[in-house]
Structure 1
Amino acid sequence: MSDDPLQVLAAGDHFVQPGLIARALHHELPEQDVSVRELTLGWPLDPFGPVAEVREACGTEDEVIAALAGGAEVLVTQMAPVTERVLDFAAERLRLVVVCRGGPVNVNLDAAKSRDIPVCYTPGRNAAATAEFTVGLLLAALRRIPQSHDLLARQGSWKGSAYYTYEHSGLELEDLPIGLVGYGAVGSRVARVLCAFGAQVMVYDPYVRGEIHGLRVTSLDELLTKSTAITLHARLTPETRGLLGARELALLPPGAVIVNAARGPLLDEAALCDALESGHLSAAALDTYEQEPLPPDSRLHDLADRVVLTPHLGGASRAVAEKAATTAAEEVGRWARGEPLAHSLT
């Protein structure tokens, strides 16, 4: 490395703020002169979406190009569109791209690879937050917490006491048979928490070996037939899209509850609404959906007494933003010291 300051563009947003990235970089490289230019993109106040050939980006190519014009060697971002046009402009100086999220879907990886620019990401940054949120959704659905709050706080009604009748009272986690579909970074944390509550935890994940928290079952059908509540933690792949449809939901015992804070398309929403309307399922709690934002005409809106709906907030914690900035800075530190990168895709 030269004696000149390391030039970094921290293209943050209102969640992973550029100041968090800058502080993490200075902490990671205390002996090196690091010059950080900060750019604040609009997310989440402005929605993300496709920009040129990349998806799930926020901001414009022009504003990223303008920010890179100072000659940045490193770009650290969460949502900036790192397109072929952006990379073509910056390729003479740019040597590393680090994305503060679980996958660099806002980066044209082929274009980066063709220019010998490594692209890194920050896996696991939101695993704890999503696991905690999942357990919160499960408790909310089992004990009708949002519905009771709405009755008292918004309607001024004490009629939530109806939930104290035997027929309408909720379920406890203790001794409850709960099936987890997937046992990765999030699912394994959920399993540990639910075991601490005393739940009867069962896990279906054909890709995981070794010891787990709970009882391993060998088929999804077996898990569904034995579980009073189901939480989803699988990755979205062509094989898992629509993993739980009408046939699978029918295998659940009457009155079962489903929680999905993983990926919306894992669950057939039409089949879910049918099962809720028929009474076969007693409740569902969702943080992710087949289409986001959730359309105004979604049938889920008409099932407010049986569903808990949140707008994809499972990873919305301050710790997630801080972890993302720290993990990104660690990758920059490895690159600056000439060490192997830990999370590189190119």
Structure 2
Amino acid sequence: MTVTASSSLSPLRILVLSQHFHHCRTFLLRALGGDTKEHVIRACDSDKIVEACREFQPHVLVPTMCRVDAATMDAALPSLKLIHQFGVGLEGVDMVAAKERGVKVCNVPAHTVDDSMVAPPGSVVNGTTTSNGEPPSLRGFNPHYVAPNFSAGGNSVAVAELTLLHMLSLSRDYHNAQLAVRRGDLGTPIGVSLAGKCAVVVGCYGALGREIVKRLWAMGMYVVGVGRRTQEELASEHSVDAVKRGESHWSWEEFRSMLWRYETTENLHSVLPIARFLVLTAVLTPTTRNLISTRELALLPQGAFVVNVARGGILDSAAVAEAVQSGHLGGVGTDVYEKEPVEATHPFLNLPADKISLTPHTGGVSDLGYAGIASGMAENLRRLRAGEELANRKV
């Protein structure tokens, strides 16, 4: 039963705990239709966060990359009702403390895109209002074009696109290509094509992994998927019949057709020797921390590229830097780091510029990614005010 929103939650007070990720506030305000009073602090210092919580008394905390511990929650009580991540990661939230204090915790899963869903008339796509469920700029160009509906939230498409940026930047030696232009050179440097190469994707059947696999397969790569669960388990839970019954939104049978090979994480070492590209998309857990370290890197072929768009802790940065410096690895691309913002002493920052492709945790930071996340989060905030059950609740 729907409960009428309490006047104490109107306006809803939201506190974003970061001076970084500036655009999340803009997109969230837009998704909320302006029906909120929001306060954004400018520093991630723990003392300032606690101080801001005491002064502002938020109903909702948005962690971004900051830690939300018991002291932070206590400073926001009794007003605090919900900790809601603008995205997926909740590793910085003390779940036990939240449960003890009766504070709900939610996130926005990295949903994939359902290409069968058409944007309804009147939707705004790339800043243009549609009339027939398609952007006017594409009318007549492709009569079969379907404008995807991204209202479900998530940022997997945006992160998958950034993954390709890192792979191509490294494989086509983008840094030296830029220098060649400035020197007036032509036809240099020579790059490595993705087509025909093997890419091992660790964490392949999650929302992000599936989006990456689709793109690598489309580019003619031999894709090896690696995940925790067996093929039998995945085939049972994500069967065609399960999709028809609405119990799953993706089919293992269809997804498996894009994989050259599939192995469980236990057999990761068996596929590393054939990986020209190693792509990491797995969730950070005690089991996956430093999943790729000295031993795993040594199993990769000479000149292999490593790309991490998961979490910094999955990759042993010092070991990777050493492998790049020795010439064993062709390069490393990453959007995530063990400690963020990145410290000046991070080993990747001392590597040659043509051996690295670094971005500041911007995988999901695109118009599409942020619009999807903001839409999903705004819906949960509406539910909070209405006293309805929250989606994607973890505590």
TM-score after normalising by structure 2 = 0.70
Find the counterpart in structure 2 of residue 214 from structure 1: 259
CA distance in 2, matches of 1:233, 1:191: 11
Change (3 A) 1:119 1:141: same
Change (3 A) 1:253 1:203: same
Are 1:225 and 2:273 an aligned pair? yes
Are 1:342 and 2:391 an aligned pair? yes
Find the counterpart in structure 1 of residue 84 from structure 2: 98
Q: Which amino acid aligns with 2:12?
A: V
How many residues align? The count is: 316
Are 1:260 and 2:289 an aligned pair? no
Find the counterpart in structure 2 of residue 140 from structure 1: 169
Per the alignment, in what secondary structure is the counterpart of residue 7 of structure 1? coil
Find the counterpart in structure 1 of residue 28 from structure 2: 21
Deviation at 1:3, TM superposition (A): 7.2
Deviation at 1:78, TM superposition (A): 4.1
CA distance in 1, matches of 2:159, 2:301: 26
Superposed, 1:71-90 pairs within 5 Å as 74-75=59-60, 77-79=62-64, 84-85=70-71, 87-88=73-74, 90=76
Deviation at 1:192, TM superposition (A): 0.1
Per the alignment, in what secondary structure is the counterpart of residue 314 of structure 1? coil
Superposed, 1:165-180 pairs within 5 Å as 169-180=190-201
CA contact (8 A) 1:335 1:341 kept: yes
Percent identity over paired residues: 29
CA contact (8 A) 2:49 2:72 kept: no
Deviation at 1:132, TM superposition (A): 0.9
Change (3 A) 1:291 1:10: closer
Find the counterpart in structure 2 of residue 324 from structure 1: 373
TM-score after normalising by structure 1 = 0.79
Deviation at 1:106, TM superposition (A): 5.4
Q: Which amino acid aligns with 1:307?
A: I
Find the counterpart in structure 2 of residue 190 from structure 1: 212
CA contact (8 A) 2:14 2:62 kept: yes
Find the counterpart in structure 2 of residue 157 from structure 1: 183
Deviates more, 1:304-313 or 1:289-298: 289-298
CA distance in 1, matches of 2:76, 2:332: 47
Per the alignment, in what secondary structure is the counterpart of residue 253 of structure 1? coil
CA distance in 2, matches of 1:299, 1:99: 28
CA distance in 1, matches of 2:72, 2:186: 56
Change (3 A) 1:83 1:177: closer
Deviates more, 1:284-293 or 1:196-205: 284-293
CA contact (8 A) 1:61 1:83 kept: no
CA contact (8 A) 1:179 1:227 kept: yes
Find the counterpart in structure 2 of residue 41 from structure 1: 41
Are 1:113 and 2:161 an aligned pair? no
CA distance in 2, matches of 1:89, 1:103: 22
Change (3 A) 1:63 1:299: closer
**Structure 2, unpaired ranges of 5+:** 111-153, 236-251
Find the counterpart in structure 2 of residue 166 from structure 1: none
CA contact (8 A) 1:61 1:81 kept: no
CA distance in 2, matches of 1:289, 1:82: 19
Deviates more, 1:306-315 or 1:74-83: 74-83
Per the alignment, in what secondary structure is the counterpart of residue 224 of structure 2? strand
Change (3 A) 1:204 1:158: same
CA distance in 2, matches of 1:248, 1:2: 53
Q: Which amino acid aligns with 2:289?
A: R
Deviates more, 1:105-114 or 1:250-259: 105-114
The CA RMSD measured in Å over matched residues stands at 2.9
CA contact (8 A) 1:177 1:229 kept: yes
CA distance in 2, matches of 1:107, 1:259: 26
Change (3 A) 1:107 1:147: same
Find the counterpart in structure 2 of residue 131 from structure 1: 160
CA distance in 2, matches of 1:201, 1:251: 18
Deviates more, 1:259-268 or 1:16-25: 16-25
Change (3 A) 1:263 1:150: farther
Q: Which amino acid aligns with 2:178?
A: H
CA distance in 2, matches of 1:257, 1:123: 28
**Structure 1, unpaired ranges of 5+:** 28-33, 53-58, 164-168
CA distance in 2, matches of 1:309, 1:191: 21
Deviation at 1:159, TM superposition (A): 4.2
CA distance in 2, matches of 1:239, 1:86: 28
